[in-house]
Chain A
Amino acid sequence: MTDQLIDFFLLMKSELLLLAVIFIMLFMNITAKENADGTPVDNNHSILVTANILLLLNFLAGFFMNTSGNLFGDSFTSTELTAFQKNILNLGTLLVSLQSYTWLKTHKHVMEFYMLLLATLLGMFLMISSQHMLLFYLGLELSTIPLAALVNFDLEKKKSAEAAMKMIMMSAFSSALLLFGISLFYGTMGTLHFQEIPAALNGSDLQLYCLILLIAAFGFKISAVPFHFWTADVYEGAPVPVTSYLSVISKGSILFVMTTVLYNVFAGMGVEWYLIICVLAVATMITGNIFAVRQQNLKRLLAFSSIAQVGFILVGMSGQNTEGAVSVTYFIIIYIFSNLAALGVISVVSALTGKEKISDYKGFYKTNPMLSWILAIALFSLAGIPPTSGFFGKFFLLLAGAGNGNYTLVIIAALNMIVSLYYYLKIVKAVFMDANEEPIPTINLAFFPKAGLLICLIGIIVTGLASGSYNYIQELFASL
């Protein structure tokens, strides 16, 4: 009996720890001292410090006591791999939380921000561990509904509310598509368990239709073209930390799940989904890059660039071998560091000056050399230029894609990498070379955002050069 209880706690460790963090913060909110006008006493500082320390502990605890096993009638699974993926998301959330310090310091509803943020993270954890359609659906909804509320977090801005509206409608619509696919699948197979699905696949037309609906729903969430229309609007309207969270953590978690579902559950329909993924990859890369070229708003540009990055990830996913799954996971880690470093700089600048256009960043190097270098290295990593880890990430993705023999796809991806250089370097040129009479004033970073940016910078450089990181992920997949 006690053994079972201990097993239960260990298997659900990530979820339970996160719940503990949520409850501790809830009680802090109840006991917090307030001024007469309802604002916190010391500008939220103590709340933010506690939140970041708790998230750091949560991340560190993710390294220990990871066991494998199933729970709840085999509908929930926990392995070394899922524990690792969850911990990647933990790290990303910690970085987002560190970077949002500047923005949240003067915000009235800090506690609600953390409640919603951690609730979505809990949803992603459930989704990653799910072995049953019901748990998968619940995790997916738990990870998107609070996000819409987060997008609306600049309460006085109309833009923010509009973005939230687009987001909630898109997510409701796409989950309806997903459910329609699931229900027809259920009709053909009579089971909702992931483990029983492979045996029940027969490749009939109806099952193919369901698979398309399923991939379409995934496509909405990872903003693959042609399901990307909400992305740029939502990224621009949302507060910058929420944009980082959306573009990195939320997308990353769905990509983890998508890889697991396609590789393990629908392996029997590999020929069919290989074609779909290839078409999506080409469309996503090309459209994302073409639209990114003409953007003037930095957040919008990064939104389209993140669409293009998803295209590259899909190239890796089309590899249909272990290398494919490994390279996707590896690239998501790199992508978290690179994109969070770029968006972290933008987040600080946006919170302090409200400037988000590329032309506003002219002469940024004169006033903020340190932030300029971080931005430049992050952009180089996103573009995939050698010593940074982005190069290695892209390299392994293309290698995995080539493993399936589809060299046309790999060539298209390589050409797209060249196009993407243009718009990334456009920002670097504005920052380092262009002169400006009124550059952004020198910014004094607080400790937390500085720490967040430094972790990202170290991550960008170390993840690529330390080859052990790729081998470690490979071992995790091999141990399944």
Chain B
Amino acid sequence: MGSSILELVHINNYVMLAAILFAIGVMGVMFRRNTIIIFMCIELMLNAVNLLLVAFSTMHSDPGGQVMVFFIMAVAAAEVAVGLAILVMIYRNVKSVDIDILNKLKW
């Protein structure tokens, strides 16, 4: 069954899609200034990885990759939860979520 899905859509297409999604995420982290959107972009990067893992797991008929996806989703949720909690602390202090506000510490 696993091979039939890959016959319909070749593995190259999955890799291309994942690479594009990942690149969009990296661009977002680098160029967007809103902290919440930066977190969304990090999620996008992680989801690109998830897609890749699932595709490869089907290709190799090895369940290891799919198990990893579940853990990545759970850990990503925890990471964002901590990140948003810190964001709330910052918002209380400066009433903004713009990342340029974070300039008190400089070299």
Question: Which of A's residues lie within 8 Å of B, judged by CB?
Answer: 133-134, 137-138, 141, 145-146, 148-149, 152, 155, 158-159, 161-166, 168-169, 171-173, 175-176, 179-180, 182-184, 186-187, 190-192, 232-233, 236-237, 291
Taking the closest CB of chain B, its distance from the CB of A206, in whole angstroms, is: 10
* Complex CA distance for A159 and B94, rounded to whole angstroms: 11
* A147 to chain B: closest residue by CB: B82
Chain B, residue nearest A183 (CB): B52
Cα–Cα distance between A185 and B93 once the two chains are bound (Å):
43
Nearest B residue to A148 via CB reads: B82
A186 to B75, CA, bound (A): 19
In residues 25-41 of chain B, which contact A (Cβ within 8 Å)?
A: 25, 29, 35, 38-39
Q: Are B79 and A168 in contact (CB under 8 A)?
A: yes
CA distance in complex: A191, B78 (Å)? 26
Task: Judge whether A134 and B53 touch: CB under 8 Å.
Answer: no
B 91-107 binary contact with A (CB < 8 Å = 1; else 0): 00110000000101111
The reply to whether B89 and A172 contact each other, CB–CB distance below 8 Å, is no
**Cβ–Cβ < 8 Å partners of A146 in chain B:** 82
Judging by beta carbons under 8 Å apart, are A149 and B82 in contact? yes
A192 near B86 with CB under 8 A, answer: no
Contact at A176–B83, with CB atoms within 8 Å?
A: no
Contact A192 B89 (CB under 8 A): no
Chain A residues with CB under 8 A of B42 = 169, 172-173, 176
Besides A134-B64, A165-B83, A171-B79, 13 more A-B contacts (Cβ < 8 Å) are A137-B71, A148-B86, A149-B86, A158-B90, A162-B90, A165-B86, A180-B48, A183-B18, A184-B52, A187-B52, A187-B56, A190-B62, A237-B105
Residues of B within 8 A of A232 (CB): 105, 107
A158: chain B residues within 8 A (beta carbon): 90, 93-94, 104
Q: List 25 A-B contacts (CB under 8 A).
A: A138-B71, A145-B82, A149-B82, A149-B86, A158-B94, A161-B86, A164-B86, A165-B86, A165-B87, A168-B83, A172-B79, A172-B83, A173-B42, A173-B45, A176-B49, A179-B46, A179-B72, A180-B48, A182-B49, A183-B18, A186-B53, A187-B52, A233-B105, A233-B106, A237-B105
Given A134-B67, A173-B29, does the pair A183, B53 have CB atoms closer than 8 Å?
yes
Taking A148-B86, A162-B102, A187-B52 as contacts, is the C-beta distance between A169 and B38 under 8 angstroms? yes
**B residues within 8 A CB of A163?**
105
CA distance in complex: A169, B83 (Å) = 8
CA distance A162 to B53 in the complex (A): 34
Would you call B17 an interface residue if the criterion is a C-beta within 8 Å of the partner chain's C-beta atoms?
Answer: no
Chain A residues with CB under 8 A of B55? 187
Nearest B residue to A146 via CB reads B82
Residues of A near B25 (CB, < 8 A) are: 176
Q: How far is the CB of B48 from chain A (nearest CB, A)?
A: 7
Which A residue's beta carbon lies closest to that of B91? A161
The residue that A165 contacts in the complex, of B67, B68, B102, with Cβ under 8 A, is B102
Min CB–CB distance B58 → chain A (angstroms): 11
Q: For the complex, give the distance between the alpha carbons of A134 and B35 in Å.
A: 28
Do A192 and B64 touch across chains, with their CB atoms under 8 A apart?
A: yes
Residue of A nearest to B69 (CB): A183
Tell me if A236 and B62 are in contact (CB < 8 A): no
Q: Are the CB atoms of A191 and B82 closer together than 8 Å?
A: no
In the bound assembly, the distance between CA atoms of A145 and B22 in angstroms comes to: 22
Residues of chain B within 8 A of A169, CB atoms compared: 29, 35, 38-39, 42, 83
B78 cross-chain contacts in A, Cβ below 8 A = 141, 145
Cβ–Cβ < 8 Å partners of A152 in chain B: 86, 89
A168 — which chain B residues lie within 8 A by C-beta?
A: 79, 82-83, 86
Contact of B45 among A133, A161, A171, A180 (CB under 8 A): A180
Say whether, besides A158-B93, A165-B86, A168-B86, A187 and B59 are in contact (CB < 8 Å): yes
Distance in angstroms from A38 CB to nearest chain B CB is 20
How far does the alpha carbon of A137 sit from the alpha carbon of B25 in the complex, in Å? Answer: 20
